[in-house]
Amino acid sequence: MFRFIDMREDLPRHETKVFQKRKVEHIKGIVVHHTAGGDDINNTARYHVGPNHVSSSGCPALLYTFYITKSGIIYWANDLEEVTWSQGGHGSPVPGTNANNNFLGVVCAGNYSKDNPGPPFVQTFALMTLWAHLVGQLKNSYIAKELYGAIDCPIESMWGHHNFGKPACPGPTLTTLIDTFRSYSQPTIGLNSIIDWQEALNSWGAKVIEDGVWGSNSRSALVDFQKANGKLVVDGIRGPMSEAALLNAIGIG
């Protein structure tokens, strides 16, 4: 059953160690993990706080901000400001960012390298719902109000740990899901309407009215561009070669 539980005060924490803090506006996306095993947040938190594979003297707390069970319960484990040691010292797919400082770790309980047929629907649903709520795309009444739109990231900024140099995490099925989700969310680059063409021609230096009507001024602006390009057929037709050249000329292609 879909539920949201704030566990920040109720999980085991290290006696002396604490996570460093960041500003929430520095968060540039979320990174999805799997536990590679258990479905018990207390067990995982105890393991992280005690001597473990990351630190022989224990970590400050559970190494993720959110933990989603197979039955679809979302646990809130750490403040958004806390830099959890989720992604490790690996690289980041987003230039100019740090894997831990600029990303929020979410873990799905389960081993999705082995479990077939992959994460249950309710767990996947909880993950997508949490993400849509966090980025302010879709408000969910179960999830804490203060998390709605709390991070200023585009919808396509959901990643898997595999994108950060850990190929086995979060396992093939979740990996496929996240990669597909991100590619569908990315705006298509291209001139998909007459207005797109008119905007692009104006960005290049033409002066046409952006009204969505392909009249003689728009056509002659395209002819001017084709002539200036030097390699295009000068026919005033909105074809793929002119499209690619125009996008390239205005720095989008």
Residue 162 binds Zn ion, judged by CB under 5 A? no
Cβ atoms of 31 and 22 closer than 8 Å: no
To Zn ion, the closest distance from the beta carbon of 169 in angstroms equals 3
Residues 225-244 as x/- pattern, contact with Zn ion by CB under 5 A: --------------------
Closest CB to Zn ion among residues 160, 236: 160
Residue 33 binds Zn ion, judged by CB under 5 A? yes
Q: Assign residue 57 a region: left if phi > 0, alpha if psi is -120 to 50, beta otherwise?
A: alpha
To Zn ion, the closest distance from the beta carbon of 161 in angstroms equals 3
Residue 45 binds Zn ion, judged by CB under 5 A? no
Q: How far is the C-alpha of 36 from the C-alpha of 39, rounded, in Å?
A: 9
Closest CB to Zn ion among residues 32, 201: 32
**Residue among 27, 109, 169, 191 that touches Zn ion (CB under 5 A):** 169
Residue 13 binds Zn ion, judged by CB under 5 A? no
Q: What angle do the packed helices 240-249 and 194-204 form, to 10 degrees?
A: 40
Number of Cβ within a 10 Å radius of residue 146: 8
Residue 135 binds Zn ion, judged by CB under 5 A? no
Which phi and psi angles does 140 have, rounded to 5°? -120, 130
Closest CB to Zn ion among residues 104, 169: 169
Number of residues that this document lists for the chain: 253
**Residue among 22, 48, 133, 161 that touches Zn ion (CB under 5 A):** 161
Cβ atoms of 8 and 79 closer than 8 Å: yes
Q: Which residues contact 237 (CB under 8 A, 6 or more apart)?
A: 222
Judged by CB under 5 A, the stretch of 51-59, 133-141, 153-161, 171-179 that binds Zn ion is 153-161
Binding site for Zn ion (CB under 5 A): 33, 161, 169
